[in-house]
A and B are shown apart, each in its own frame.
Chain A
Amino acid sequence: MNALINSTSAELLRLRKWSATWVVVGAWMALALAFGYVFNYVAYVSGEENFTSDGGTRAGLLAQMLPPALPDILVQGLPMFGGALAMVIGALAAGNGFGWGTWKTVFTQGPSRLATVGGSLLAVTLIVVAMITATLVLYLGVSSLIAVTEGHEIAMPSLEAVAKAYGTGFLVLEMWAVLGFLVGVIAKGPSIAVGLGLVWALVVENLLRGVGGLISAVETFTHVLPGTAGGSLVGALVGDQSGTPGVVTTIGGEQALITVAAYVLVAVVAAVVLMRRRDLA
């Protein structure tokens, strides 16, 4: 246990001091702010309709930006952008160690591979926690600010709704992050892992879902894919009428939860087992 804590703190130190981590997290925050509030607010102020407002009224648009709508807004962007960026973080954290020779250096220091890889996964998980927490804080601030600016009194969403959204958001991001980690371990490098992972998450799954409409075997197959699972988990919370890319209601919330949790478990176990057994040449 101590070894695991030590290696988590070591990994956190080097991930925290890595500009790539901040670039990815920063990119997410910027996207989250832009798609969550900025575009809608501009549309609201200028009186134009925005693509996320699905033809609603100006009042409806404003309602989406006030604190009570926060839980929905928090998770909407996660299946697509958030997941993809979390995957990049996982793939970078695992993949670069091979080319740089840092896995080798760390292993020769003595910690067990289980503790080392486990610590690295935990550190990535903590970054995911930081990511979703920072988003929540940002959204709380921005939605409150909009409420004050527009002369509404600040009504907070229920704690339960926030907790549910937070948990959902964490799970979706964590799934993509550990999948990215696993692909980084398999590919022994970040570039193939990031490239293939993004093409898969952003393109292939969507195409497959399209093909699935024509061929039922493919449709059944898409039901177990991570994108469908993550999208459906969010969809179970917000419904699919929002029109946000990646948010679907293909499978039920419960099944989505089980699938997402299974992906997290399988990816973590597979990454640890692979790294333990592998000859590090």
Chain B
Amino acid sequence: MNELVVETDGLTKRYGDRLAVDRVSMTVERGEVYGFLGPNGAGKTTTLRMMLGLIRPTAGSARILGQPAGRPDVTARIGALIEGPGFYPYLSGRDNLRTLARYRRLPDTELDRVLELVDLTDRAKDAFKGYSLGMKQRLGVAAAMLGSPDLLVLDEPTNGLDPAGMADMRALVVSLAEAGQTVILSSHILAEVQEICDRVGVISNGRLLRESTVAELRGGATLRLRATPEDAALAIVMRSAGEDGVRRLGDGALEIGLPATAAPRLVKELVGAGVDVHEVTAAERSLEDVFFEMTSTKELVS
């Protein structure tokens, strides 16, 4: 089942003294939406460019659909929108797609299909230069979807879009994913990745820090407790959650590795032992928390 669509092994790109991508080994499985997460300049686009054969790796390799990346027949099975849409400004949206379709002799019905897919049929006859940024990005997705690729690579597709445009683009990605499309979505917007991705790879300073499901990355839900005296509270909590399950937060609160359903029992125990409970909340770590934690501690994939 879990066929690997992308598999990179020690992928490295060096520009002079600067390591743009440092030994990245990542995998993307068929049918998933893979979030490629990292701050600007982390090496996301460079990694994706190597997968597409636009640039050559300094070291390491990338295999797409079981074959070496960069070969024309492999690239033809990937649809990509890399670093903004690149089209002929004077041509209409449709003629731009027609030009691209001619490289692979795709029929005109394919143009209608992808235009419909990104909801650009009505404006297809207008010149590309007159499009809004959101429409340009959508045309980029349409071009990427020409010929029904096995893998769709979208590099920051919501960059520069207004909130409505962002929502449209996310809805588009979700609908493609629901149809079974394998997608790599690079982004620096954590909420976006949290919302639509199955698995994520976190990259920072060219290194892949972690690769796992979004749920794993965020960890389970936790309880946050503020009670006095603190030491007595800590002792009681540790009996239920274990010594490693409790963490002192800076502001006198405790973070407890227990689900929200454990709260009533925990409060009863605390009150029974004469501890004053001031506050109990169920907290869920956002991807953002995890991300900042990770990018500041530089945890590595083992």
How far is B104's CA from A115's CA once the two chains are assembled, in angstroms?
Answer: 11
Q: How far is the CB of B201 from chain A (nearest CB, A)?
A: 21
- Asked whether A162 is an interface residue with its Cβ less than 8 Å from the other chain, the reply is no
Q: Which stretch of A4-12, A57-65, A83-91, A199-207 is in the interface?
A: A4-12
Given contacts A10-B103, A100-B87, A109-B146, contact A281 B49 (CB under 8 A): yes
Contacts of A281 in B (CB 8 A): 49, 54-55
Q: Are A108 and B52 in contact (CB under 8 A)?
A: yes
Partner of B102, one of A13, A101, A104: A13
> Of residues 95 to 115 in B, which have CB atoms within 8 Å of A's CB atoms?
95, 98-100, 102-105
Interface assignment of A112: CB less than 8 Å from any CB of chain B:
yes
Are the C-beta atoms of B99 and A14 separated by less than 8 Å? yes
A160 CB-CB contact with B under 8 Å: no
> Which of A3, A19, A280 contacts B55, CB < 8 Å?
A280
Chain A residues contacting B86 (CB-CB under 8 Å) are 100-105
Q: Are A110 and B55 in contact (CB under 8 A)?
A: no
Minimal beta-carbon separation of A39 from chain B (angstroms): 34
- A205–B91 Cα distance when bound, in Å, is 37
Beta-carbon contact of B54 and A10 below 8 Å: no
Query: Taking the complex as formed, is B216 at the interface, i.e. its CB lies under 8 A from any CB of chain A?
Result: no
A46 to chain B, nearest CB (A): 42
- Interface pair B99/A10, CB less than 8 Å apart: yes
Tell me whether A17 and B85 are in contact (CB under 8 A).
no
Give B148 Cβ to nearest chain A Cβ, in Å. 13
Verify A279–B104 contact, CB threshold 8 A: no
Q: Tell me which of B72, B87, B90, B100 contacts A18 (CB under 8 A).
A: B90
Any A CB within 8 A of the CB of B6: no
Chain A residues with Cβ below 8 Å from B104 are: 6, 109-111
Q: A6 vs B72: C-alpha distance in the bound complex, in angstroms?
A: 14
Query: Top 10 closest A-B pairs, CB basis?
Result: A101-B86, A110-B76, A10-B102, A279-B55, A105-B86, A108-B80, A112-B72, A280-B54, A110-B75, A14-B99
Q: Flag whether A143 is at the interface (Cβ < 8 A).
A: no
Q: Report B-chain residues with C-beta under 8 Å of the C-beta of A18.
A: 88, 90-91
Cβ-neighbour of A19 out of B85, B87, B90 (below 8 A): B90
Which of B49, B89, B98, B100 contacts A105 (CB under 8 A)?
A: B100
B53 contacts the other chain (Cβ, under 8 Å)? yes
Residue in chain B with minimal CB distance to A116 = B103
Question: B78 to A108, Cβ gap below 8 A?
Answer: yes
Over the window 138-179 of chain A, the binary record of Cβ atoms lying under 8 Å from chain B Cβ atoms (1 yes, 0 no) is: 000000000000000000000000000000000000000000
Partner of B95, one of A17, A103, A110: A17
- Pair B52/A14 contact, Cβ less than 8 Å: no
The A interface is mostly helix, strand or loop, or mixed, namely helix
Q: Which residue of A lies closest to B79 (CB)?
A: A108
B270 CB-CB contact with A under 8 Å: no
Beta-carbon nearest neighbor of B84 in chain A: A101
Q: Is the CB of B103 within 8 A of A110?
A: yes
Closest residue of chain B to A5 (Cβ to Cβ) is B105
Is the CB–CB distance between B95 and A14 below 8 Å? Answer: yes
Asked if A107 CB lies within 8 Å of chain B CBs, one says yes
- B86: min CB distance to chain A, Å: 2
Q: What residues of A have a CB within 8 angstroms of the CB of B53 in the complex?
A: 107
Roughly how many angstroms separate A10 CA and B102 CA in the complex, as a whole number?
Answer: 5
A106 sits at the interface (CB 8 A): yes
A168 to B240, CA, bound (A): 93
B82 interface residue (CB < 8 Å to A): yes
Question: Which chain A residue lies CB-closest to B76?
Answer: A110
Q: How far is the CA of A111 from the CA of B106 in the complex (A)?
A: 13
A281 to B104 alpha-carbon distance, docked (Å): 23
Q: Which residues of A contact B54 (CB under 8 A)?
A: 104, 107-108, 279-281
Name the one of A105, A116, A279 contacting B87, with C-beta atoms under 8 angstroms.
A105
CB distance from B75 to the nearest CB of A (A): 5
CB distance from B200 to the nearest CB of A (A): 23
Contact with B along A97-135 (1 / 0, CB 8 A): 000111111111111100110000000000000000000
CB of A102 within 8 A of CB of B87, answer yes
Contacts A10-B99, A101-B87, A110-B104 known; 14 new A-B pairs at CB < 8 A: A3-B72, A3-B103, A9-B102, A13-B95, A105-B143, A107-B52, A108-B144, A109-B104, A109-B143, A109-B146, A110-B73, A110-B76, A110-B78, A111-B104
Q: Does B56 sit at the interface, judged by CB under 8 A?
A: yes
* B74, chain A: closest CB distance, angstroms: 8
Cα of A100 to Cα of B90 in the assembled complex, Å: 11
Q: Which residue of B lies closest to A2 (CB)?
A: B105
Which residues of A lie under 8 Å from residue B76 when comparing CB positions? 109-111
Asked whether, in the complex, the Cβ of B98 is within 8 Å of the Cβ of A13, the reply is: yes
**Which chain A residue has the least Cβ–Cβ distance from B13?**
A279
List B contacts of A106 (CB < 8 A).
100, 103
Look across to chain A and name the residue whose beta carbon is closest to the beta carbon of B48.
A108
Known: A109-B100, A110-B104. A100 touches B88 (CB 8 A): yes
**Residues on A with beta carbons closer than 8 Å to the beta carbon of B91:** 14, 17-18
> Once bound together, how far apart are the Cα atoms of A104 and B55, in whole Å?
11
